[in-house]
Amino acid sequence: MEINVKVISKSSLRGVDFLIFVTLGTQSQDFSRLIKLVELGIKEDLIKEKVIVQAGQTDYKSDLVEIKSYIPKEEQDKLYKECDLLITHGGVGSITGGLKVNKKVIAVARLVSLNEHINDHQLEIINNFAEQCYILAADDEKSFLDALKQIDEFEPKAYKSNTPNMVKLLKEYIDNNKK
Protein backbone atom coordinates (compact mmCIF):
# COMPACT_ATOMS: atom_id res chain seq x y z
CA MET A 1 0.00 0.00 0.00
CA GLU A 2 1.45 3.35 -1.05
CA ILE A 3 1.05 6.37 1.18
CA ASN A 4 1.07 9.82 -0.35
CA VAL A 5 2.57 12.45 1.89
CA LYS A 6 2.23 16.13 1.16
CA VAL A 7 5.13 18.15 2.52
CA ILE A 8 3.87 21.29 4.16
CA SER A 9 6.19 24.24 4.22
CA LYS A 10 7.71 25.17 7.59
CA SER A 11 7.36 28.78 6.54
CA SER A 12 4.09 30.13 5.26
CA LEU A 13 5.76 33.26 3.92
CA ARG A 14 5.52 33.13 0.11
CA GLY A 15 5.35 29.32 0.21
CA VAL A 16 9.06 28.94 0.94
CA ASP A 17 10.18 25.70 2.57
CA PHE A 18 13.03 27.32 4.47
CA LEU A 19 13.83 30.94 4.98
CA ILE A 20 16.88 32.84 6.16
CA PHE A 21 16.30 36.38 7.37
CA VAL A 22 19.30 38.71 7.34
CA THR A 23 19.10 42.03 9.13
CA LEU A 24 21.75 44.74 8.84
CA GLY A 25 20.08 47.22 11.18
CA THR A 26 19.50 50.89 10.46
CA GLN A 27 22.93 52.46 10.87
CA SER A 28 23.92 54.93 8.18
CA GLN A 29 27.24 53.17 7.53
CA ASP A 30 27.46 50.55 4.79
CA PHE A 31 27.38 46.90 5.88
CA SER A 32 27.52 45.15 2.52
CA ARG A 33 30.19 42.86 4.02
CA LEU A 34 27.44 40.81 5.68
CA ILE A 35 25.51 40.42 2.43
CA LYS A 36 28.74 39.37 0.69
CA LEU A 37 29.29 36.73 3.41
CA VAL A 38 25.77 35.40 2.82
CA GLU A 39 26.42 35.33 -0.94
CA LEU A 40 29.63 33.39 -0.25
CA GLY A 41 27.59 30.88 1.78
CA ILE A 42 25.28 30.48 -1.22
CA LYS A 43 28.20 30.06 -3.65
CA GLU A 44 29.78 27.48 -1.30
CA ASP A 45 26.43 25.61 -1.31
CA LEU A 46 26.03 26.05 2.45
CA ILE A 47 22.92 28.20 2.00
CA LYS A 48 20.21 26.72 -0.18
CA GLU A 49 17.28 28.53 1.39
CA LYS A 50 15.54 31.67 0.26
CA VAL A 51 17.26 34.70 1.79
CA ILE A 52 15.55 37.98 2.58
CA VAL A 53 17.78 40.88 3.62
CA GLN A 54 16.68 43.98 5.52
CA ALA A 55 19.47 46.28 4.34
CA GLY A 56 18.58 49.58 6.00
CA GLN A 57 20.96 52.26 4.68
CA THR A 58 23.21 49.75 2.87
CA ASP A 59 22.84 50.15 -0.89
CA TYR A 60 23.76 46.80 -2.43
CA LYS A 61 22.46 44.87 -5.41
CA SER A 62 22.37 41.08 -5.57
CA ASP A 63 21.06 38.39 -7.87
CA LEU A 64 21.35 35.82 -5.08
CA VAL A 65 19.26 37.31 -2.27
CA GLU A 66 16.14 39.45 -1.98
CA ILE A 67 17.08 42.85 -0.57
CA LYS A 68 14.67 45.33 0.97
CA SER A 69 15.92 48.60 2.40
CA TYR A 70 12.93 48.99 4.69
CA ILE A 71 10.62 46.36 6.11
CA PRO A 72 7.64 47.51 8.18
CA LYS A 73 7.70 46.32 11.80
CA GLU A 74 4.76 43.95 11.34
CA GLU A 75 6.45 42.22 8.39
CA GLN A 76 9.79 42.17 10.19
CA ASP A 77 8.15 40.53 13.23
CA LYS A 78 6.65 37.94 10.90
CA LEU A 79 10.05 37.28 9.31
CA TYR A 80 11.59 36.75 12.77
CA LYS A 81 8.87 34.19 13.54
CA GLU A 82 8.89 32.51 10.12
CA CYS A 83 12.60 32.26 9.43
CA ASP A 84 14.55 29.11 10.09
CA LEU A 85 17.79 31.03 10.69
CA LEU A 86 18.49 34.64 11.59
CA ILE A 87 21.76 36.16 10.39
CA THR A 88 22.25 39.57 11.91
CA HIS A 89 24.52 42.43 12.85
CA GLY A 90 25.42 42.79 16.52
CA GLY A 91 22.53 44.91 17.69
CA VAL A 92 20.97 43.73 20.96
CA GLY A 93 17.43 44.24 19.63
CA SER A 94 18.08 42.19 16.51
CA ILE A 95 19.78 39.36 18.39
CA THR A 96 17.18 39.17 21.15
CA GLY A 97 14.40 39.51 18.57
CA GLY A 98 15.49 36.16 17.15
CA LEU A 99 16.20 34.54 20.51
CA LYS A 100 12.79 35.52 21.89
CA VAL A 101 11.12 33.45 19.15
CA ASN A 102 13.59 30.56 19.57
CA LYS A 103 15.60 31.06 16.38
CA LYS A 104 19.15 30.00 15.75
CA VAL A 105 21.25 33.12 15.26
CA ILE A 106 24.54 33.84 13.55
CA ALA A 107 25.80 37.34 14.34
CA VAL A 108 28.48 39.43 12.62
CA ALA A 109 29.59 42.69 14.23
CA ARG A 110 29.76 45.96 12.37
CA LEU A 111 33.37 47.11 12.78
CA VAL A 112 34.74 50.61 13.22
CA SER A 113 37.97 49.60 11.39
CA LEU A 114 35.88 48.96 8.26
CA ASN A 115 33.80 52.15 8.70
CA GLU A 116 30.71 50.06 9.45
CA HIS A 117 30.00 51.70 12.82
CA ILE A 118 31.20 54.46 15.12
CA ASN A 119 32.61 52.03 17.73
CA ASP A 120 33.09 48.29 18.32
CA HIS A 121 30.44 47.71 20.96
CA GLN A 122 28.82 45.07 18.74
CA LEU A 123 31.88 42.84 19.22
CA GLU A 124 31.31 42.88 22.99
CA ILE A 125 27.60 42.18 22.58
CA ILE A 126 28.13 39.27 20.20
CA ASN A 127 30.98 37.78 22.23
CA ASN A 128 28.84 37.92 25.37
CA PHE A 129 25.89 36.15 23.72
CA ALA A 130 28.20 33.59 22.07
CA GLU A 131 30.10 32.82 25.29
CA GLN A 132 26.77 32.04 26.94
CA CYS A 133 25.87 29.71 24.01
CA TYR A 134 22.88 31.73 22.80
CA ILE A 135 24.27 32.41 19.30
CA LEU A 136 27.12 31.62 16.93
CA ALA A 137 29.52 34.49 16.27
CA ALA A 138 31.41 35.16 13.06
CA ASP A 139 33.82 37.90 12.11
CA ASP A 140 35.34 36.85 8.78
CA GLU A 141 34.77 34.50 5.83
CA LYS A 142 36.18 31.40 7.55
CA SER A 143 34.26 31.82 10.82
CA PHE A 144 31.06 32.65 8.92
CA LEU A 145 31.33 29.52 6.75
CA ASP A 146 32.19 27.49 9.88
CA ALA A 147 29.08 28.86 11.63
CA LEU A 148 26.93 27.84 8.64
CA LYS A 149 28.43 24.34 8.79
CA GLN A 150 27.66 24.11 12.54
CA ILE A 151 24.20 25.64 12.56
CA ASP A 152 22.19 22.42 12.12
CA GLU A 153 23.82 20.81 15.16
CA PHE A 154 23.97 24.00 17.23
CA GLU A 155 21.56 23.90 20.16
CA PRO A 156 21.30 27.42 21.56
CA LYS A 157 20.68 27.97 25.22
CA ALA A 158 17.07 29.02 25.89
CA TYR A 159 16.90 32.80 26.12
CA LYS A 160 15.64 34.36 29.32
CA SER A 161 15.32 38.12 29.45
CA ASN A 162 17.01 39.97 32.31
CA THR A 163 14.83 43.06 31.78
CA PRO A 164 12.76 42.72 35.00
CA ASN A 165 15.95 42.57 37.08
CA MET A 166 17.44 45.57 35.25
CA VAL A 167 14.24 47.59 35.77
CA LYS A 168 14.34 46.71 39.49
CA LEU A 169 18.00 47.77 39.77
CA LEU A 170 17.34 51.06 37.96
CA LYS A 171 14.29 51.78 40.10
CA GLU A 172 16.30 51.13 43.27
CA TYR A 173 19.11 53.34 42.00
CA ILE A 174 16.71 56.20 41.17
CA ASP A 175 14.88 55.83 44.49
CA ASN A 176 18.16 55.83 46.44
CA ASN A 177 19.52 58.88 44.60
CA LYS A 178 16.54 61.23 44.80
CA LYS A 179 17.43 64.62 46.21
Greater pLDDT, 159 or 140:
140
* Whole-number Å distance between alpha carbons of 170 and 114: 35
| Tally of structural domains, the chain | 1
Element (H, E) at 23: strand 19-23
Q: What is the mean pLDDT of residues 74-78?
A: 94
Q: What is the mean pLDDT of residues 64-77?
A: 94
Confidence band (pLDDT; 50, 70, 90) for 179?
low
Looking at the domain assignment, is residue 85 inside a domain?
A: yes
Looking at the domain assignment, is residue 68 inside a domain?
A: yes
* Whole-number Å distance between alpha carbons of 117 and 102: 28
95-132 residue pLDDT tens: 999 999 999 999 999 888 877 888 788 999 999 999 99
Q: Name the residue range of residue 55's domain.
A: 13-176
Looking at the domain assignment, is residue 42 inside a domain?
A: yes
Looking at the domain assignment, is residue 154 inside a domain?
A: yes
Identify the CATH number of the domain in which residue 163 sits: 3.40.50.2000
Looking at the domain assignment, is residue 146 inside a domain?
A: yes
* Cross-sheet strand order for the sheet of 85-88: 66-68, 50-54, 19-23, 85-88, 104-108, 136-138
* End-to-end C-alpha distance for the chain, whole angstroms: 81
Closest by CA position to 147, among listed 28, 25, 34? 34
Looking at the domain assignment, is residue 8 inside a domain?
A: no
